[in-house]
Amino acid sequence: MADAAQDSIFTKIVKGEIPCHRIFENDHILAFLDITPLSVGHTLVIPKRQAEKLEDLPPEDTAELARQLGAIARRVVSATGAEGYNILQNNGRAAGQEVPHVHFHIIPRRAGDGLGYRWKAKPAEQDTLAELARRINATDV
């Protein structure tokens, strides 16, 4: 666990220093309601271990998040009467990450709720994709 001086707001929640509305907890992860929800039941699922981005997290914590996400989402959707949900996970400020502690958003959805999610996708040339895949495959970080 991180030093108090470096604790993220979510680590403070894990430590019980800041309150939350908890909906799931085990030794490795915690789920609680988002304080500024996009929809009723908007939930955050976090590793208890503090790490800023997904790639910073030890694989066992990532695995535990993956193991529990679906079951937590099922309960949230059932309890709120939602019809579906989005999972959102932001990494880096450019991607909209405000809290530097890995978190998955579960955002319950209803048809016509007006939230939206479609981004402006553009078709790419096959040659461009092939060159990009070659570059990524040659990258070892």
Q: Would you name the residues annotated as active-site residues?
A: 103
Phi, psi of 22 (to 5 degrees): -80, 135
Closest CB to ligand AMP among 95 and 132?
A: 95
14: Cβ contacts below 8 Å, ≥ 6 apart: 1, 30, 46, 48
Nearest approach, Cβ of residue 9 and ligand AMP (Å): 5
Token pair belonging to 49: 């271990």
| Closer residue to ligand AMP, CB minimum distance, 3 or 98 | 98
| Minimum CB–partner distance for residue 69 and ligand AMP (Å) | 15
Binding site for ligand AMP (CB under 6 A): 9, 18, 20, 34-36, 44, 90, 96-99
What is the rounded distance in angstroms from the CA atom of residue 106 to the CA atom of residue 20? 16
Task: Choose between 35 and 71: whose C-beta lies nearer to ligand AMP.
Answer: 35
CA dist 121 and 111 (Å) reads 22
Q: How far is the CB of 36 from ligand AMP (least distance, A)?
A: 4
